[in-house]
Amino acid sequence: MRHHRRTTKITIWLTAVTALLWVVYALIGHPMIDAIYHGNAPGFLNSLITSQDRYPVEHFYDAADRVFYRQVLFFPLGMFVFYALVVHGLRFGLRNARTVGSVVSAESARWIRRDWLIGGGLYAVVTLFLFSPILSQFSNHLIGPLEDNVRYLWNMWWAERVLIGGNGSLTFTQMIFFPEGASLYFNDYSWYNLIGSLLLRTVLTPAATYNVLILHSFVLAGLGAFWLVRYITRDSIAGVVGGLLFAFGSAHVAHSLHHMNIASVQFIPFFILFFIKSMRGGRTRDIALAALFFLLSALCSWTFLILNTFVVILAYVYLAYRNRKGWLPRVAGKSIVIVGAPIAILSPWLAPMVWLGVTSSGTAGGGHSGYVVDLVGFVIPNAYHWLNRWDIVASINQSYWGNAWESAGYLGLGSIAIVLAAGRRVWRVSGAWTCALIAFGVMAMGTYVHVAGAKLPIVLPYSPLKNLPPFDTLRAPGRYAIYVQLFWVVIVGFAVRQLVASAHSQRIRLLRLGIIGVLLIGDHFTIRADVTDVAVPPAYHALESTNQPYGILELPGGWTQNGLYMMYQTAHEIPIVQGTIPRTVGSTLQNRLHLDDPDTLHNQLVTHHVRYLVLHRDAETGQWPQDPGPFHERYTEVYRDSAAIVWRVY
């Protein structure tokens, strides 16, 4: 209560000061600027504006208004209110943290026989239902629209070429960014999926292999969340619901259409489950399994290595606070084993990658302020939701910084309704999960708070962290939303248990279960029909085989187009000038091309043994992205159709 009274007093004082400043500025702000602009203010003030010949006075009105209202007026009050709410939420969570035993007794636990089979079967059926449009094109189309998905097809091809064919290296290649080549230490390989692809490729096409790897993540993610929620709530129904919500949560579905590595969330709930068990019981088996699933998550994506380590650190801070001790040797020892053993196993790759990141520029990347979750994005259906057909929802989604898949943090209006209907008791038994949700939610918002696209001057912890390893390489804070949604489904699991347990009759219990089912199905399940054709254009059949190695320049360039050219390379197997990997080290010919100077470009291509130039017509506009005339004058045309032209340079 003392904390609440102090917070209230500070809020009142800040509000009063803010109101006073607003009145003062409203009365004298613009008149003072006008006086300075016209040289009628005291001498030292007149020197503040010296560019009257370039800008009208209204320009300075607008600039002063922006600075005053955002930085002076809103900044202190907004910062205080935001962090007061965060601290209040964390204090509430810590005060209401409970162990499993104190949440529900063993006698009140509700188990359904073979519940994991029911859950697994349900998740498999829902997965096939959601992606049913692609089933008829399973062997020759990739799940998702044309974007980063094609690059993962290249990763699978390159790994098979190196590991099975013994041709090339996993750490460096000249097949892309020809002729200099590129380091592949920062390529998003997703080792777990690469190993799986080597096994599946013996019986499936490359596209079908990719699709199976994406789809199986939904079933395993559902089972992992099921076992986690069931363990925490001791309720089979809550477990089934929790698995359903996490497997088909907005972040997982969004990334499944774009990023194979980030879509591989299936081992995260298993890791958290056995990490919790190892902290509570301390059995060697639980510690080993926690380390194993930490390792498997890291093999899916290096992002999960960082975020799972963040989970361990936050757990230690939480336990230290709860125990009123700064040093917990048993907790620290177990945590070091769980994190350290997998890192030691991965060190042959991690050590040179970290060294390259420290010694080279360009590996950190940007996006810490752009690829984030908007504050309203947690409660507004995202761009992949069926409600995005409504203009108001679509306009909010379009206002977000970054792109749709990195900003997918939607928790679900149906889930929120279920938690609210269950009452305050849910929050009183899920304090630890509330703390975790708040901590990861703040991190998911990046460096500043964004509300419906508006960047507020509220500095978040990620702002200083973005310049420190390893957070500097984690340029998409929005991916923390995956963990936010996992912690959220545990809270929803408590709510489901509470609603079912408080029913006074079997009829009411069934009615509530039916309503819960309708809310969740209607809120979370939108059929995905986005696919990418993996067919290679016939233009590439015109490329000749020679004894001398040569490269191909393909136009137009760009992130998505270059990824598409990498996919084409899996068929023609000729080095290409372009390429896309998450982090590049050094400059290559791609960065030095003089596309606006035909003569210089010709010399560059000949000097660097680029034998062919391929120009692709824009599929949407039907126009050539570059005038073919200069190419006709200098090169020999060897192929032309409605989609592409191929010239031989030499």
| Residue 28 pLDDT exceeds 70 | yes
Any idea which residue has 């306009």 for tokens?
395
613: β partners: 553, 647
Kindly state whether residue 282 falls inside one of the protein's structural domains: yes
Residue 108's pLDDT band, with cuts at 50, 70 and 90, is: low
Q: Which string of DSSP letters, residue by residue, matches 189-212?
A: --HHHHHHHHHHTTTS-HHHHHHH
Q: From CA 145, how far away is CA 404, in angstroms rounded?
A: 13
| Residue 107 pLDDT exceeds 90 | no
pLDDT tens readout for residues 384-435: 999 999 999 999 999 999 899 999 999 999 999 999 999 888 988 898 999 9
pLDDT at 232: 94
Residues spanned by the domain of 300: 267-352
Which of residues 83, 116, 136 is at a domain's end? 83
- Residue 621 tokens, joined: 């506009």
Query: Which range among 56-70, 209-223, 239-253 shows the weakest confidence by mean pLDDT?
Result: 56-70
How many CB atoms within 10 Å of residue 6?
Answer: 11
Residue 100's pLDDT band, with cuts at 50, 70 and 90, is: very low
| Residue 267 pLDDT exceeds 60 | yes
Q: How far is CA 501 from CA 99, 414, 434, 505, in A?
A: 19, 19, 22, 10
597: β partners: none
Kindly state whether residue 463 falls inside one of the protein's structural domains: no
Are 218 and 391 in contact by the 8 Å Cβ rule? The answer is no
How much of the chain is helix, strand and coil, in % rounded to 5? 60, 5, 30
| Residue 249 pLDDT exceeds 60 | yes
Q: Which amino acid is at 93?
A: G
Average pLDDT over residues 352-380: 85
Any idea which residue has 């929005």 for tokens?
478
Three-state secondary structure call for residue 461 = coil
pLDDT at 14: 79
Helix (DSSP H) and strand (DSSP E) numbers for the chain:
27, 10
pLDDT tens readout for residues 431-443: 899 999 999 999 9
pLDDT at 149: 96
pLDDT tens readout for residues 269-310: 999 999 999 998 878 999 999 999 999 999 999 999 999 999
Query: Which range among 114-123, 200-209, 344-353, 521-530 shows the weakest confidence by mean pLDDT?
Result: 521-530
| Residue 316 pLDDT exceeds 80 | yes
341 CA to centre of own chain: 26
Which of residues 314, 331, 352 is at a domain's end? 352
Contacts of 262 (CB under 8 A, 6+ apart): 255, 301, 303, 479, 482
Average pLDDT over residues 108-112: 65
Q: From CA 230, how far away is CA 243, in angstroms rounded?
A: 9
Residue 17's pLDDT band, with cuts at 50, 70 and 90, is: confident
pLDDT at 468: 82
Is the bond preceding 556 in cis, omega lying within 30 degrees of 0? Answer: yes
* Mean pLDDT estimate for the chain: 91
pLDDT at 4: 64
Of 78, 388, 399, nearest to 253 (Cα)? 388
Query: Which range among 207-211, 533-537, 617-621 shows the weakest confidence by mean pLDDT?
Result: 617-621
pLDDT tens readout for residues 566-608: 999 999 999 999 999 988 878 899 999 999 999 999 999 999 9
Kindly state whether residue 101 falls inside one of the protein's structural domains: no
Residue 362's pLDDT band, with cuts at 50, 70 and 90, is: low
Kindly state whether residue 608 falls inside one of the protein's structural domains: yes
pLDDT at 99: 46
* % of the chain with per-residue pLDDT over 70: 96
Contacts of 390 (CB under 8 A, 6+ apart): none
Of 126, 133, 200, nearest to 164 (Cα)? 200
- Residue 293 tokens, joined: 């699933």
Kindly state whether residue 281 falls inside one of the protein's structural domains: yes
Of 153, 152, 182, 180, nearest to 170 (Cα)? 182
Q: Convert 436-466 to b/e letters by CB count within 10 Å (16 or more is b).
A: bbbbbbbbbbbbbbbeeeebbbbebebeebb
Q: From CA 172, how far away is CA 193, in angstroms rounded?
A: 20
Kindly state whether residue 31 falls inside one of the protein's structural domains: yes
Kindly state whether residue 120 falls inside one of the protein's structural domains: no
Comparing 619 with 71, the larger pLDDT belongs to: 619
Three-state secondary structure call for residue 183 = strand
| Count of the separate structural domains present in the chain | 3
Q: From CA 595, how far away is CA 612, in angstroms rounded?
A: 15
Which of residues 319, 352, 385 is at a domain's end? 352
Is the bond preceding 537 in cis, omega lying within 30 degrees of 0? Answer: no
Are 179 and 609 in contact by the 8 Å Cβ rule? The answer is yes
pLDDT tens readout for residues 155-201: 999 999 999 999 999 999 999 999 999 999 999 999 999 999 999 99
Q: Which string of DSSP letters, residue by residue, matches 51-112?
A: -TTTS-HHHHHHHHHHIIIIIIIIHHHHHHHHHHHHHHHHHHHHHT---HHHHS-GGG-B--
Three-state secondary structure call for residue 159 = helix
pLDDT tens readout for residues 451-500: 999 998 899 999 988 888 778 778 899 999 999 999 999 999 999 999 99
Average pLDDT over residues 38-63: 85
Comparing 72 with 378, the larger pLDDT belongs to: 378
Q: Which string of DSSP letters, residue by residue, matches 20-42?
A: HHHHHHHHHHHHHHHHHHTT-S-
Average pLDDT over residues 551-579: 95
pLDDT at 77: 82
Three-state secondary structure call for residue 448 = strand
Contacts of 449 (CB under 8 A, 6+ apart): 82, 375, 455, 456, 458, 460
Question: 145 φ, ψ to 5°?
Answer: -75, 165
Angle between helices 481-501 and 302-323 (to 10 degrees): 60
Kindly state whether residue 368 falls inside one of the protein's structural domains: no
